[in-house]
Amino acid sequence: MNNPLLDKLPVGICLVNEAYEIVYLNAFFLDRMPVELRGDALGKPLADVFPEQIKFLKRRIKSVFVLKHPSFSYWEQRPHIFPFKSSRPITGEETQMVQNMEIVPHKDIETGQQYACILIQDVTAQASYFKAQAQLAEELKAEHEAQRKLIRKLDRAQSQLIQAEKMASTGQLAAGIAHEINNPMGFVTANLNTLEQYAQNLLETCQATKKLVASHAPEHIEALEDLFDATHVELIEEDMGPLIQESKDGLKRVSDIVSTLRSFAEEPQHTWGYLNLHDTANQLVQLISTQFKRPRFKVTCEPAQLKWYCESASLKQALTNLMMNAAQSIDENGLVMLDIRQTGSGTVAIKIVDTGCGISEANLKRVFEPFFTTRPEGKGQGLGLSVAYSAIEKHKGKLAINSREGKGTVIEVRLPVLKEQEEDKSASNPSTESL
């Protein structure tokens, strides 16, 4: 057995007889053993030299003796079978040698004696490389996950940006149109007032003329009356007042709409402050009812004139989208109700109830997905609810939707009380800020 070649092998060899006594150790094995064990290990029972490992070793050696074929142990499950120092005591990161073990049966041809040959392979380098790889893979996976989250966030941000941009440009357009309407409205109103005065004067002149002719030239009175009849002076006299009043009323309505539009559209973006929810709801209904004539609208607010700390532009946007959806769901007669209620705990619950066509169960799961729409192509972008959702999220609120097809839909928005500091925090912390 004492072949000097065996001492040159890069493998540890330990030969054990059937009594579990060590009968041979090669140089590789000896060199890596703790110094105090080296001297008298040979000839000793394996249990005395490696008492901590003996249970495992005995089991494996027994299996080799019984089955007469090799037994293996892999570093991943059992990295340090023998208390061997790392092969790199100076530069290595591991202090203990990582080992693969193979126990093979060996039969001495001359004596017929059975042995178990323990072969130890130093895999410290491979193991640490493998571990580094595994760690790297883990890190990559985490990074990948983070990136996926970011991409999802980016996707959402992009769709909201598109919507915001559109809304901003529609807002600007509305404000511009409102301004343009206001100019002619100014002179039309002024002129109408003057015209009313002029018409009054003319009619009075007619009456005076009639009186003058009657007293001074009665022979001409008939001709004058014929002239008056021919030009329908009497009818003009009757009709003029109501006509002008109606026109004035119409102008008043136009100017009301224009001012609502302006107060709605010209809101500076992303400013937090107190918003009168009651007024906003009324303005909103006024605006929407000009576009949707069929449904009846009802606004309730408890307490009246409730003022709420919020980012008014986005909250108005959210309410507009929700109300528009409700109004659009009604084909014939129906009701859209907007109920604002402050609860006992101070939060506010905004309920939007419609008696419209409702949403099917399958679609209900998808309504908050950006670009999901059931309207024909070109009629809707499918961004209304997702924009509303993120606006409510920005206010740390919750949006719940309940619907029965053919019956109607109830949307409930719950907003917690936000203090000025909280909102500041959420604005400066990008992770909680909804993009």
Partner 1 sequence: MNDTVALSEDQRDALQELMNISMGQAANSLAHLIETKIGISIPKITAVTPDGLYELVSHNQQAYYTRQSFMGDIHGEVMSILTQHGLTEVAELLEYEQPLSENDINETILELSNILAGACLAGLSEQLELATNLQMPTLFAPQKSDFSKYDWQHSLVMEVKFDIHISSFTMRVVFCLDDASLTRLKSTIDELLG
Provide the residue type at 361 as one letter. E
Q: How far is the CB of 58 from partner 1 (least distance, A)?
A: 9
12 vs 408, beta carbon nearer partner 1: 12
For residues 331 and 324, what is the distance between their CA atoms, to the nearest angstrom? 13
Whichever of 103 and 340 has its CB closer to partner 1, that residue is 103
Alpha-carbon distances, residue 346 vs 306, 342, 349 (angstroms): 12, 6, 10
Q: What minimum distance in Å lies between the beta carbon of 125 and partner 1?
A: 18
CA atoms within 13 A on the CB side of 232: 5
Cα–Cα distance between 166 and 253 in angstroms, integer?
A: 27
Q: Could you give the C-alpha distances from 22 to 147, 253, 349, in angstroms and in order?
A: 57, 108, 83
CA distance 267 to 320: 14
- Which residue lies nearer to partner 1 by CB, 74 or 371? 74
**Residue 92, SS3?**
coil
- Of 104 and 244, the one with the shorter C-beta distance to partner 1 is 104
Angle between helical axes of 277-291 and 312-328 (0-180°, round to 10):
40
Q: Are strands 296-302 and 398-404 parallel, antiparallel or unpaired?
A: unpaired
Compute the distance between CA of residue 41 and CA of residue 37 in angstroms, rounded to an integer. Answer: 6
Query: What is the spatial distance between Cα 264 and Cα 312, in angstroms, rounded to a whole number?
Result: 10
Residue 76 or 204: the one with the smaller Cβ distance to partner 1 is: 76
Could you tell me the smallest distance in angstroms from the CB atom of residue 36 to partner 1? 29
Interface with partner 1 by CB under 8 A: which residues? Answer: 55, 59, 62-63, 66-74, 76-78, 100, 102
**Closer to partner 1 by Cβ: residue 64 or 392:** 64
Report the distance separating Cα 105 and Cα 107, nearest Å: 7
Least Å distance, CB 134 to partner 1, is 14
Closest contact distance (angstroms) between CB of 377 and partner 1 is: 42
Q: How far is the CB of 162 from partner 1 (least distance, A)?
A: 40
71 or 320: CB nearest partner 1: 71
CB of 63 to partner 1, least distance (A): 6
In terms of CB distance, is 104 or 427 closer to partner 1?
Answer: 104
The tally of CA atoms less than 13 A away on the side-chain side of residue 126 is 10
Residue number, 59 or 425, with CB nearest to partner 1: 59
Give the single-character DSSP code of 376: P
**Other beta carbons less than 10 A from residue 402's beta carbon:** 13
Please list the residues that pair with 117 across neighbouring strands: 15, 104
CB 67, min distance to partner 1, A? 5
Helix (H) or strand (E) holding 325: helix 312-328
H or E element: which one contains 296? strand 296-302
Contact call for residues 49 and 22 (beta carbons, < 8 A): yes
What is the distance between the alpha carbons of residues 309 and 359, in angstroms, rounded to a whole number? 32
How far is residue 363's CA from residue 373's CA, in Å, rounded to a whole number? 9
Cβ(413)–Cβ(407) under 8 Å?
A: no
Considering the complex, what minimum distance in angstroms separates the CB of residue 78 from partner 1? Answer: 7
Nearer to partner 1, 67 or 202 (CB): 67
**Residue 94 CB, nearest approach to partner 1 (Å):** 18
**Closest to partner 1 by CB, 73 or 163:** 73
CB 302 within 8 A of CB 341: yes
User: In the complex, what is the shortest distance from the CB of residue 344 to partner 1, in angstroms, rounded to a whole number?
Assistant: 52
